[in-house]
Amino acid sequence: MLLRSILPALLFLFTLPAVADAETDKAMRDSIKQFFAQGVYVKGARAELVEVLRWPNTAAKLRWRMPALNNHSARPSLIAEQGQGKSLRRWYVPVRLNWWAKVVVAKKDLPARSRLSVDMLDVARVNIAGHSGSWWKKTSHLAGMQLTRPLQAGNAIYTSYVHRPKLIRRGDHVTMIASYDGLKVTAVGKVLRSAGLGDRVSIRNLKSKQVVQGVVASASTVHIITGEML
């Protein structure tokens, strides 16, 4: 009879730690959710928590920080802290993340060595986690570049996926175009080094022998930079 009378009380005592653990575990999980809900950005991409790979061996609410990152790692370790001053405790917590950014993507399947034009490209919100290199936000910045690898529709385009082919070669003769107060002046010049679309290049005016700076506009045309005289 005595055992029956105290059994409920013993069961109640044994369940208390489990309830407390559940509450503190919830506080810890809520703290990391709040951290990402406020918006965590690195180099223009927003982080989205997928899962925590190993939780700290502690309880209660934590303060969270993103470590210094050189790229958008899919599995970084967040910094979690608890307490202040001498009572400060710190953990490195491995997580799995998505990184979302608006980037230029292929509008359709493209084979390697394709010369890109604006109509081949689009801008979309893409998960760039795990990819190294920079990306583009404007389709016009990729016009004239050439793919180094095939792409499927929707694939983001990174710096390692393209190169800028040379449109003009050293020694080529091109038309130089300079604008002065709304007037256009043209002359023939000799290219002093090879360059691609949009590249800056030095050109020697065949008539005046003066060397000027210009920007490659096509395989036969260079726009002289404002202030340069032909």
Domain identity same for 60 and 125: no
Answer whether residue 15 shows pLDDT above 70. Answer: no
Q: Which domain holds residue 144?
A: 100-163
d(CA 200, CA 212): 10
Domain count across the chain: 3
12 part of a folded domain: no
Answer whether residue 21 shows pLDDT above 70. Answer: no
Instruction: Report how far apart the first and last C-alpha atoms of the chain are (Å, whole number).
Output: 111
Per the structure block, which two tokens stand in for 89? 């405790």
H or E stretch covering 50: strand 45-52
Better-predicted residue by pLDDT, 22 or 155: 155
4 part of a folded domain: no
d(CA 206, CA 184): 18
Q: Average pLDDT in the 220-228 region?
A: 84
Helix, strand, coil % in the chain, rounded to nearest 5:
20, 40, 40
The per-residue pLDDT for range 190-203, each reduced to its tens digit, is: 999 998 878 899 99
What is the β-pairing status of strands 89-106 and 77-82? antiparallel
Domain identity same for 32 and 94: yes
3 part of a folded domain: no
Domain identity same for 190 and 154: no
Q: Average pLDDT in the 96-101 region?
A: 97
DSSP state of 178: E
Q: Which of 144, 163, 182 lies at the terminal end of a domain, its last residue?
A: 163
Domain identity same for 186 and 152: no
Enter the pTM of the model.
0.69
- φ, ψ of residue 96 to 5 degrees: the values are -115, 130
Q: Average pLDDT in the 179-207 region?
A: 89
Give the DSSP per-residue string, 113-142: TPBP-GGGEEEEEEE-TT--S-B-S-GGGG
Q: What is the pLDDT of residue 184?
A: 87
Answer whether residue 213 shows pLDDT above 90. Answer: yes
d(CA 225, CA 198): 12
Report CA-CA distances (Å) from 67 to 71, 78, 131, 228.
11, 6, 18, 47
Domain identity same for 29 and 89: yes
Q: What percent of the chain has pLDDT over 70?
A: 88
The per-residue pLDDT for range 127-161, each reduced to its tens digit, is: 999 987 889 999 998 988 999 999 999 999 999 99
CATH number of the domain that residue 130 is part of: 3.90.1210.10
Domain identity same for 154 and 178: no
Q: What is the pLDDT of residue 6?
A: 52
CATH number of the domain that residue 209 is part of: 2.30.30.760
H or E stretch covering 30: helix 2-37
- Asked whether the beta carbons of 187 and 207 are under 8 A apart, the reply is yes
Q: Average pLDDT in the 168-173 region?
A: 92
Q: Which residue do the tokens 């069961």 mark? A: 11
9 part of a folded domain: no
- φ, ψ of residue 193 to 5 degrees: the values are -155, 155
Domain identity same for 58 and 30: yes
The per-residue pLDDT for range 71-95, each reduced to its tens digit, is: 899 999 999 999 999 999 999 999 9
Domain identity same for 104 and 153: yes
Per the structure block, which two tokens stand in for 31? 């703290």
Q: What is the pLDDT of residue 103?
A: 96
Cα 104 from chain centroid (whole Å): 11
- Average pLDDT of the chain? 87
